Structure 1
Amino acid sequence: MDRNSALTEEQGFLDVAVARRDTLIGHLRDELETDATDAVEVARRRMLRRQYEELRRAAEGLVFGRLDAVDGTVRHVGRIGLPAADGSDPLLLDWRAPAARPFYTATAVDPQGQARRRHIRTTGSVVIGVDDEPLDGRTGGLAGQGALLAALDERRTGRMTSAIATLQREQDDIIRASASGPLIVQGGPGTGKTVVALHRVAYLLFTHQHMAERAVLLLGPSTRFLDYIGQVLPALGETAVVAATCDTLVPGVAVDRTEDRVVAEIKGRAIWQDALERRVSSLTPRPRPLQVRWDGEFHTIPASVMTVSGRSYHRSRALFAAQLHQALASAVAAHRETLLESMDHGYEDILRRFDDDGDPSDYLMSEEEIDELAERIAEDATIGRFVESVWPTLTPEAVLRSVLADPDHLTPAEAAAVTAEPAEGWAPSDIPLLDAVADLIGSGSPASSGPFTADRARATRDWVYGHIVVDEAQELSEMQWQMVLRRCPSRSITAVGDIDQAEAAHRHTGWAQAVGAAFGDRWTAAELTVCYRTPREVMALTGPVLAAAGSRNTPPRAVRSSGIEPWQVTVTETELPDAVAQAVPQMRERWNGGTVGVIASARLVPMLRPFVGDAPLLTATQAKGLEWDATLLVDAAGIAAEPRGHNGLYVALTRCTQELGQLNVNPG
């Protein structure tokens, strides 16, 4: 079949699919306009609303693939599934459905019953290209190579887009991997780590419907990064997702100061967990008999009332208070009984004035009366103050401040570095410590429950998620991993990153070191080995940089060439501003419609800001996870001299999809 015939054929199918989508949207809209009458209907309405939103968002890229089986069966693959009008086989397969998997995994060696794979490129409701791939031994090593390379050569817009049409087998294997435990994915630059992470979220929410009830937490390294990827999941139809950074995970607490790397490394260690547990334990009151006054009488409450075991300090406090209220009510009742039993017979004449038989037991308190008294005691302000004096209310901030002021679990030198920090404000490494203390202290209320809403989950510190995805996971400290684990005790966690791009203050050089404190050896490793984004011309520069960084990993294999050799110019620091001011517009003109990013050593960023126009100007750390058509790298030697600088330089070198230019600084 010639190209024009193929385009006509696929345009016909797309027209049918678009019409079917529009019909389904109309049916759902009509149903959603009726009133819900009961809880079952409300739950059904939520499901219909989700289907409606998926269909509505699927206007772009509705159909992107086709599988022709050896038995003549033809299946189209798309962003969502569409049922046929007559109830037969689906008109369009959802890319996440098991039947669609050969679109990503079939090869000439293992065709999986398929004779041909076709990639279909569309703009809105118009087919603009097809890329046929026979699965009979005549294809190359990449699935849909033509479509993939065309997508990689497209101009970057500053926003990440969906890649469901061009996922490769090793990416698809990770996307569809079991979610029963931690999965740690190592992938070098351009291997599609973030693409895999985001599409895994979409796949898991599609395959495991219960996850949508608790949502998926997506942790990224920065708000800039979250903005960059922010359109992908809604485009895939997934809304049961909360995106955050580690700095924003504790509601009501914000990072408002920076910190020294040495201190950040010290405060990121797992040893703080035990230290904080010991401190909170030391603040828990020890059991002792209590003297409590009620109605002018003192009553002795046994020490056993203080022997409680709640999950947290405040949960234990709540249990103690409840037991105290009940014990005091019982003590008051017992005291009344004792008084009655001690009365002389002469008092019986007095009692007969009020009761015919004069039986003192008529004046004892019933169980119901004791419970009512316990309720009155619980509401009494004086008793509340007594409970506070015995078992004080704590705040995470106050407890952590006390530990930071006296970190007796550290060496003298380490303690001196920590105590020298400002007494006000919070640094990034404080957030995991605050989270740990908040978890140990608790609120005395039940854990989060009820249906998911993004705002509710964000505002609830102890929200338990159905799954967590961590991007740039190599940057997390041991205490940050503890934060992750607390939010998903089932350990249904996917972490993607490149240990060779680690720039954080911790000393981890391997994944076992990075996640061992949280997961032990109970995690699964996976690897992405093919670099799709960064061209071969640029990847060829990374070998010496990786060696200098102490890497033990094999760099990913670049599969494409941009045909543009990296260039570099050396200037003095005095000449540098003019050189940047000239280079940026020239590169932007060459990549008109795309993006150009500037990465510089941290010391030069403030000086260069007036000379880059509206192009992004970032340090290597800030550029992590981002990509542009062209990168201007300023002062590579200065970046390499920064802490973990060769790891940062590796990041900086690999942000472009086409062109890399370097301005080196000659001190003279």
Structure 2
Amino acid sequence: MTTSLAPDPAPDPGLDPAPDPALARELRRERAHHDACRAALARMAEDVAEQVVTGEDVAASGADAEVLGRHLRSRAKEFGEQPPGPLFFGRLDREDGQSHHIGRRRIAEHPAEPPLVVDWRAPVSRAYYQAGAHDPQGVVRRRRFGWAPYSAGDTADLTGLEDEHLVSGEDVVSAIVAGEIERPRVGPMRDIAATIQPEQDDLVRSGPGTSVCVQGAPGTGKTAVGLHRAAYLLYTHPQRVRRSGLLVLGPNRTFLSYISEVLPALGETGIRQSTLDEEIARHEVRAVDGEAAARVKHDVRMAEVLRRALYARVALPDGELALADGPLRLRLPAEVLAGIVAAVREEAPPYATGRERVRARVVRALQLRAERRAGPLGGAWARRVERARPVSAFVDACWPRTTPEEVLAAVLADPDDPLLTAGERAAIRWAKPPRSFRSARWSAADLVLLDEVAGLIERPESYGHVVVDEAQDLSPMQCRAISRRADFGALTVLGDLAQGTTPWAARDWREQLAHLGKPEAEIVPLTTGYRVPAAIVDLANRLLPELGLGADVPAGVSLRRDGEVRLCRVADVATGVVEAVKGALAREGSVGVIAADEHVGPLTSALEAGGLLRAGGDGGAGGAEATGGTADVVAPESAGERLSVLPARMAKGLEYDHVVVAEPAAIVAAEPRGLHRLYVVLTRAVSRLDVVHGEPLPDYLAS
């Protein structure tokens, strides 16, 4: 049963505007509970602020005081940065008489008292997502609350409630959940804590040591699942995850801006959200590779090419080592030294570790010879010999110091490894080598190779957990860079093989996971879409047989039976796009115009001339920040920055209520994986899609 109270300026879809008196009383009780929760949360924030002041006077050692202070300040910062919004979205009434309100964070009058609101990640909350008429899990009633759209958490915004009586076998389709999922896309990406579905919940609550790969069709919520899993791990294993860190990797800054508010809304702040390019940025990118060179540099064979080039610097000694230490004259013959170097190489430690291991074993061999003549020698003797000039000279000759830049510069100046073909060696060879590696101009692909060599020399710090989105677009060498950062942690890998658009995009998850260092990770498909309507999914699915991906990419299905698709052939594409945008702006929600790069400029000019764009604005990309080529809406129907014009290559990961696709044939022709790009573009719409074209559509779309 569902109710909403009038007046409600923006009622949730599907809610009955005329509640009966009993339900109205229930709603008043829940509003009173929300007031109590708001007051308790305010007191919690005050208590935390007071603890920071009190903690400064606590007597403890310097280290203890610093740790305590950091903990208290971080808690205060967490409360201070908490975004506004309703404090609960659901309630469970159990057979044992207990009731629990479910929200985004725990709220209590006192830490020792039962909570007024239970965190959605707590074990008791799981039944809210998993219980059903077929398996009530001890739940008598599940209640969902309807809040006015975009509510900042005012109690009056609690406009409806919906009860599901599980023990009596009641199994209903929630109008509140449907309304939340279908709400227009304005602003950054929202969390889905109130609408998580059972199959998503299973992934979110995977253990900290489990690596998971989510193959998600468009609109299935794979990105949200990855972010909510990060929040869940931070809640259930805070010390383990925070000690080693949690990293969220997105494909670009625009995408990261779009998802930036999800984790703070779930009560988690200070999480590193970055791109792989930022993680490996040893130098500024000052060169651009041709397509052939980029393909070779991203090929996994380059890992072995670089390893050989690095260890080619290791040389076996051709003479003995002599050391004078006071009255002692110590010698190590060449065969003993060669055995030490060969043994360390066989152990294959990081290059820098190997160098010090050789030094330590040489010193130990000298010490054993000295002790046979002079008796036991202490650690001070060994430390002095470590720095002796003959020992250092030997180590430098047999296992010299080097840098990633020095190794890669030598490879690119004269690539001679037989693993590469003559054509591939020619493609990556510097046309004009720099005078030294210090003056080299590095490309984006070179930075990936430098990271590979750096990882061979010295292992980077490993994160406790890494979330990788749009993972299908990563090259094998990029995957290796990520694997080094998750050596001792787990991965949440998110992607869709059908949306792979880079020249080296993955075609098989098992192979991609091997490159990521997690070949054992479970591959879980998400095929049920909640955001993209069936009409749009059905159109996009017509492309899947053309992508050559087979059964590894099951077609997505949508629970939404709404949505609109229009295929419009026009004499002039720019005019057709302007008309489509006018119609879109007359309705609610964000609007995205997506086209091939060559068409973005002319379409922007046409929209400006039609009074729909203000030149030089920074627009809104489905709630994301500016993507380039966007502009402010000045149409009278708009209530803010609703319209974006962007190239197809920038559309991945973004969502708009209404999408206008301009000339799909040009998008397909613009790049080798143009069909994959078109699949991405078509699935950016979450309500309505207009395909405006002058050229004929391919048969698989036109039908």
TM-score range, shorter chain: 0.7 to 0.9
Q: Which residue in the other structure is 2:236 paired with?
A: 207
Aligned residue runs from structure 1 range 107-506, under 5 A: 107-120=132-145, 121=147, 123-126=152-155, 127-134=157-164, 135=166, 136-140=168-172, 145-209=174-238, 210-289=240-319, 302-303=333-334, 304=336, 307=340, 309=344, 311-321=349-359, 370=381, 373-374=384-385, 377=387, 388=396, 391-404=399-412, 405-406=414-415, 407-419=417-429, 425-442=441-458, 462-506=460-504
How many residues are matched?
A: 611
CA distance in 1, matches of 2:556, 2:105: 32
Closer/same/farther in 2, CA of residues 480 and 228 from structure 1, 3 Å limit = same
Q: Which residue in the other structure is 1:14 paired with?
A: 34
Q: Which residue in the other structure is 2:554 paired with?
A: 554
CA distance in 2, matches of 1:646, 1:596: 23
Q: Deviations over 1:43-63 (max 9, x none)?
A: 344444444344441642321
8 Å contact kept, 2:162–2:176 = no
Partner SS, residue 283 of structure 1: coil
CA distance in 2, matches of 1:276, 1:236: 43
Q: Which residue in the other structure is 1:357 paired with?
A: none
CA distance in 2, matches of 1:604, 1:250: 33
8 Å contact kept, 2:296–2:302 = no
Q: Which residue in the other structure is 2:570 paired with?
A: 570
8 Å contact kept, 1:469–1:494 = yes
Q: Which moves more between the two structures, 275-284 or 296-305?
A: 296-305
Partner SS, residue 123 of structure 1: coil
Q: Which moves more between the two structures, 547-556 or 99-108?
A: 547-556
8 Å contact kept, 1:537–1:566 = no
8 Å contact kept, 1:474–1:499 = yes
Partner amino acid, structure 2, of 1:212: R
8 Å contact kept, 1:221–1:472 = yes
CA distance in 2, matches of 1:538, 1:366: 79
Question: How much has 1:465 moved relative to structure 2?
Answer: 0.5
Ranked by relative contact order (alpha carbons within 8 Å, sequence separation 6 or more), the top structure is 1
Question: How much has 1:150 moved relative to structure 2?
Answer: 1.7
Partner SS, residue 689 of structure 2: strand
Q: Which moves more between the two structures, 603-612 or 486-495?
A: 603-612
Question: How much has 1:562 moved relative to structure 2?
Answer: 3.8
Q: Deviations over 1:588-646 (max 9, x none)?
A: 3433xx32222112333354454454043333332111101111111211222331222
Closer/same/farther in 2, CA of residues 280 and 7 from structure 1, 3 Å limit = same
Question: How much has 1:228 moved relative to structure 2?
Answer: 0.9
- State yes or no: 1:28 paired with 2:56: no
Of 593, 596, 600, the residue aligned with 1:601 is: 596
Closer/same/farther in 2, CA of residues 540 and 300 from structure 1, 3 Å limit = same
CA distance in 2, matches of 1:249, 1:422: 29
8 Å contact kept, 2:464–2:489 = no
CA distance in 2, matches of 1:166, 1:639: 34
Question: How much has 1:471 moved relative to structure 2?
Answer: 0.7
8 Å contact kept, 1:116–1:132 = no
Closer/same/farther in 2, CA of residues 60 and 49 from structure 1, 3 Å limit = farther
CA distance in 2, matches of 1:515, 1:185: 11
Q: Which residue in the other structure is 2:628 paired with?
A: none
8 Å contact kept, 1:133–1:139 = no
Partner amino acid, structure 2, of 1:625: G
Question: How much has 1:299 moved relative to structure 2?
Answer: 7.8
CA distance in 1, matches of 2:405, 2:652: 31
- State yes or no: 1:52 paired with 2:62: no
Closer/same/farther in 2, CA of residues 501 and 385 from structure 1, 3 Å limit = same
Partner SS, residue 190 of structure 2: coil
CA distance in 2, matches of 1:12, 1:527: 42
8 Å contact kept, 2:217–2:529 = yes
Partner amino acid, structure 1, of 2:122: A
Q: Which residue in the other structure is 1:534 paired with?
A: 532
Q: Deviations over 1:184-240 (max 9, x none)?
A: 111100000111010000001111121111111111111111111111112222235
Aligned residue runs from structure 1 range 59-138, under 5 A: 59-85=84-110, 87-120=112-145, 121=147, 123-126=152-155, 127-134=157-164, 135=166, 136-138=168-170
**Greater Cα radius of gyration, structure 1 or 2:** 1
> Unmatched 5+ residue regions in structure 1?
338-360, 448-461
> Unmatched 5+ residue regions in structure 2?
1-20, 434-439, 608-612, 614-630, 632-642, 697-703
Q: Under a length normalisation based on structure 1, what TM-score does the superposition of the two structures give?
A: 0.82
Q: Which moves more between the two structures, 601-610 or 214-223?
A: 601-610
8 Å contact kept, 1:478–1:515 = no
Q: Which residue in the other structure is 2:12 paired with?
A: none
Question: How much has 1:312 moved relative to structure 2?
Answer: 2.0
8 Å contact kept, 1:305–1:327 = no
Partner amino acid, structure 2, of 1:559: L
